A and B are shown apart, each in its own frame.
Chain A
């Protein structure tokens, strides 16, 4: 079982004719993802990897009965592409694009409150239900079907933790990369809620990092609402205050919140063990199962 995507999810690739779009369409299809259409303005009527391309997402969704999209559109046009997916309307839009202006995302965030579509990302590796479907750029071969849900702000850290799980035979229901930007669609709490409701998810890994207060809020949510056990990891313990470490979100203000320490404390207080290493996270999950 899984959350959000499975083998029946019918996917439109927005930006399918670009280098990344084309490459990852092939990768996703190899994995088994049901990619039914592409959408690129001005490229309607073409075919990419045997998939028909439409000029608009709306037309692609209508003609091919699609319910989800993956966005590989360059940053300058990406917010518009997300709006197009929301208005098509699709059930799920996954935005891989890195570097979307924050003010564009603020407008998207506002619109998300008015529609039923769920957004994942941007600046994320996407979402995968092992053995069924992946929407995004995650390396499918490291994942294995199982009963652990995973939600993470960082792509490569997700791969690391999954590798630690899979190598000792612990599979995953679904892994969701929510992205490291300051303004994102689906956040920790949304993802935790989905896993809590999924009867097959027996434990959850939550990977956070310095910056913002999302992990602290998630900790509160876990304490109040979750029966499914959660283990955590927080990246950035050694980050000096005031320095930005790659992710837009990964900056420590120095004012006592948003630090690795405050996040680890909040999670511990909520009964969530936090690993000192990714391998220790897998130890905690093993204890839960």
Chain B
């Protein structure tokens, strides 16, 4: 789960990290009112879950009322990389002489959290990491013990943070680590962390992503979740609780287990088709869930054909077959041809149940995928 900038900044501010004065606004009038309260210049910042908002026109600096109005009109309602902007953060523009980067994430290779500091802030940190990795100081943390203050200082000095603010930045890094640990973050960062003319340090942006698997013990953060989706189908997938990714092909793919579903996508491509989606029904799916999966894929208008690939371990073939029959039985005419391949637990029982007037049944993965690719060609 990803927090919006304004939400993350509230969390940071509560933890004692300085943030600029700011107000959330959802109309032009509210933007102007907030800007007048804060005093010009102000930054008007789109609150959507995409990176590179500034470059995409989602962040603008207003020097006066006319500009605040103009930018509010520009940004509110705009389409930013597929997301509709409904709210902006109106924020005091900070005069800075320097921009830093600080963050904490999980180093999966090491199995440990790693704190990072760079004196090259304010830019895309991924390209800094790629082009000048030495510009980022990294400090691994013992997850059972937590971060020693000396480690935060070490990273800050290594990164070449100016002496006047080094201890303040170290203290902010320590606070970020504490938040990361307490709030089950998967990623937490401030970029840029601004150093003002008066040597104050202020978090001008805030990123905080929470581990979805840990939301059960972060209920206050879970309540902040404001799902935004790129399209209606992904929204539907969220409601059904599927792992679903929409792609741009025309062969709809449903399967169980991430590895097998990815493999099915790859085979569709291998046999000359193009996958329309990734949809994992997960383990142990019952008939209703299977029917929901078919509903999802049928409602994608790009889909010309569907392949169902189930290799049951926990998932039972007869249960899947029942779901497919139920879902297809509701139609007078099947909207798109469906190929089904059932293997593993109770697969034989499943194949017996399957109504082969409604679906094409194949024994092997290869035959099923090739069948679906052929059907898709016919549908175009």
In the assembled complex, the Cα of A111 lies from the Cα of B111 at a distance in Å of 11
Determine whether the beta carbon of A160 is less than 8 Å from that of B311. yes
Determine whether the beta carbon of A76 is less than 8 Å from that of B217. yes
Kindly report which residue of chain A lies nearest to residue B310, judged by CB atoms: A156
Determine whether the beta carbon of B262 is less than 8 Å from that of A243. no
Kindly report which residue of chain A lies nearest to residue B126, judged by CB atoms: A255
Identify which of B108, B263, B344, B365 contacts A235 (C-beta below 8 A).
Answer: B263
Give, as a whole number of angstroms, the nearest-CB distance from A171 to chain B.
18
**Chain B contacts of A99 at CB under 8 A?**
213
Q: A113-145: which residues lie under 8 A (CB-CB) from chain B? A: 125, 137-139, 142
B235 within 8 A of partner (CB): no
Provide the B266-287 mask, 1 if CB < 8 A to any CB of A, else 0.
1111100001001010010000
Identify which of B112, B260, B278 contacts A106 (C-beta below 8 A).
Answer: B112
**Chain A contacts of B278 at CB under 8 A?**
239, 243, 245-246
Q: A73-127: which residues lie under 8 A (CB-CB) from chain B? A: 75-76, 98-107, 109-111, 125
Determine whether the beta carbon of B213 is less than 8 Å from that of A209. no
Check A125/B142 contact, CB under 8 A, given A155-B257, A156-B256: no
In the assembled complex, the Cα of A255 lies from the Cα of B243 at a distance in Å of 23
Determine whether the beta carbon of A155 is less than 8 Å from that of B313. yes
B82 within 8 A of partner (CB): no
A225 within 8 A of partner (CB): no
Determine whether the beta carbon of B214 is less than 8 Å from that of A154. no
Q: A199-224: which residues lie under 8 A (CB-CB) from chain B? A: 207, 209-210, 212-214, 217
In the assembled complex, the Cα of A137 lies from the Cα of B316 at a distance in Å of 13
**Chain A contacts of B311 at CB under 8 A?**
156, 159-160, 163
In the assembled complex, the Cα of A250 lies from the Cα of B259 at a distance in Å of 9
Give, as a whole number of angstroms, the nearest-CB distance from A245 to chain B.
5
Check A240/B247 contact, CB under 8 A, given A101-B213, A106-B143, A209-B259: yes
Determine whether the beta carbon of B258 is less than 8 Å from that of A250. yes
Most buried by A among B113, B257, B280, B365: B257
B144 within 8 A of partner (CB): yes
A157 within 8 A of partner (CB): yes
**Chain B contacts of A110 at CB under 8 A?**
111-112, 142-144
Determine whether the beta carbon of B259 is less than 8 Å from that of A157. yes
Determine whether the beta carbon of A101 is less than 8 Å from that of B184. yes
A152 within 8 A of partner (CB): yes
Give, as a whole number of angstroms, the nearest-CB distance from A106 to chain B.
4
Determine whether the beta carbon of B314 is less than 8 Å from that of A137. yes
**Chain B contacts of A152 at CB under 8 A?**
259
In the assembled complex, the Cα of A137 lies from the Cα of B262 at a distance in Å of 21
**Chain A contacts of B283 at CB under 8 A?**
98, 155
Identify which of B112, B217, B266, B312 contacts A139 (C-beta below 8 A).
Answer: B312
Considering only CB atoms and an 8 Å cut-off, how many residues of chain B contact the other chain?
Answer: 50
B378 within 8 A of partner (CB): no
Determine whether the beta carbon of B245 is less than 8 Å from that of A245. yes
Most buried by B among A101, A182, A239: A101
**Chain A contacts of B54 at CB under 8 A?**
none
Check A103/B214 contact, CB under 8 A, given A159-B343, A245-B245, A245-B258: yes
Give, as a whole number of angstroms, the nearest-CB distance from A30 to chain B.
13
**Chain B contacts of A153 at CB under 8 A?**
259
Determine whether the beta carbon of B260 is less than 8 Å from that of A182. no
Most buried by A among B213, B268, B366: B213
Most buried by B among A107, A160, A238, A260: A238
B74 within 8 A of partner (CB): no
A237 within 8 A of partner (CB): yes
Give, as a whole number of angstroms, the nearest-CB distance from A90 to chain B.
20
Give, as a whole number of angstroms, the nearest-CB distance from A72 to chain B.
11
Q: List 24 A-B contacts (CB under 8 A).
A: A103-B211, A106-B143, A107-B143, A107-B144, A125-B313, A139-B313, A139-B345, A156-B259, A157-B257, A159-B260, A159-B311, A159-B343, A159-B344, A163-B311, A180-B258, A210-B262, A235-B259, A238-B262, A238-B266, A245-B258, A246-B243, A248-B213, A249-B108, A255-B130
Interface positions of B (Cβ within 8 A of A): 106, 108-109, 111-113, 126, 130, 142-144, 181, 184, 186, 211, 213-214, 216-217, 243, 245, 247, 255-263, 265-270, 275, 278, 280, 283, 311-314, 343-345, 365-366
Known A-B contacts: A104-B214, A210-B262, A240-B247. Give 9 more (CB < 8 A). A152-B259, A154-B258, A156-B311, A157-B260, A212-B109, A235-B266, A238-B269, A244-B243, A250-B262
Interface positions of A (Cβ within 8 A of B): 20, 75-76, 98-107, 109-111, 125, 137-139, 142, 152-160, 163, 180, 182-183, 207, 209-210, 212-214, 217, 233, 235-240, 243-250, 255, 260, 276-279
